[in-house]
Amino acid sequence: MKVLVVGGAGYIGSHTAHVLKRAGLEVAIYDNLSTGFEFLANGFPLVVGDIHDGKKLLEQVKQCDAVMYFAANHYVGESVVNPRKYYRNNVEGGLSLLNAVLDAGKKSLVIFSSTCSVYGAPEKTPISEDQPLAPINPYGVSKVFFEQALQSYDTAYGIRYASLRYFNAAGADENGEIGECHDPEPHLIPLALQAAAGLGPELQVFGTDYPTPDGTCLRDYTNVVDLAEAHVKALQHLQAGNPSICVNLGTGEGSSVMEVISTVEEVTGKKVPRKIVPRRPGDPPALVADPRKAQQILQWKTKRSLRDSVSTAWKWMQKRGK
């Protein structure tokens, strides 16, 4: 079986490509390298192409049995100030891919990289899949749109899919070959590691007055390799002829900003310089997954802890030197 990983030169896409390969599947990567890195695709056939290039995309889809879609912009704040970019890339680009799958004349299987941002500011936590979809920014709206497009194409054309709603991806591959690369870097763990190593500014802690045990936000940090392994499980689920699914991927446990900082200090042996600043608008106090549906349907459960994620991220950052 051959899998086309669209956006496979990015963070989660590259880790998934490696896990697919270890599972014995043939993998090809399609990426325009606008935010991805060519070295993350080392060891795989790489087609440099844009998701809006329908002809080029169709040629690649025709050669594959399944498609995994990671190619999307994903900065919440940027989506608020530049929604045009997000609707073009995440909505129009997503439809370009979906139409290529349809035009390829196969009942290709589609695995979609979705997000907990589809829930907006949830009424309760942990968050289950039956909670209302109420995104509060264009990024979340774009993901909801594509989930609904997938449902429509399944109903009309029989294209089965798995929509996997991530919470906070973290860590790096244990073999040290690949890890997290973003420019700019938006995520807490690498920012805390950079601050500890003196490779970045002091860490900003956005608010300490939330209704949580230590006053800082709670998030569900899920190891990136665990996430990648869920994609293999989702593909196997669809291969077996099962219906389309939409599931949360998370640990089911929340870690606060201060707990992450403490873990970084334990792993590195260094203090994390930090500064308390006001809350960011729209940050919910807690975003934690209820992962029971994925556990039941996919027989998937996280294996790696927050400390594991911090440790592999630290090794990766040391290897890169930044």
Could you count the other beta carbons within 10 Å of the beta carbon of residue 313? 24
289: nearest Cα among 120, 113, 128, 112 = 128
Which helix (H) or strand (E) covers residue 221, if one does?
strand 221-223
Contact 165, 115 (CB under 8 A): yes
Per 3-state DSSP, the chain is made up of helix, strand and coil in percentages (nearest 5) of 40, 20, 40
Residue pair 249/194 in contact (Cβ under 8 Å)? The answer is: no
Neighbour-count burial for 109-147, b at 16+ CB within 10 Å, e otherwise = bbbbbbbbbbbbebeebbbebebeeebbbbbbbbbbbbb
Catalytic residue among 11, 86, 139, 221: 139
Could you report how far apart the first and last alpha carbons of the chain are, in Å? Answer: 37
Neighbours of 102 (CB within 10 A): 18
Cα(284)–Cα(148) distance, integer angstroms: 24
154 Cβ contact list (under 8 Å, min separation 6): 160, 161, 244
- Which among 158, 17, 32, 148 has a CA at the least distance from the CA of 95? 148
The phi and psi torsions of 44 (rounded to 5 degrees) equal: -130, 150
The answer to whether 157 is a known catalytic residue is no
| Phi, psi angles (nearest 5°) of residue 200 | -155, 175
Residue 121 identity: A
Q: Which residues are catalytic?
A: 139
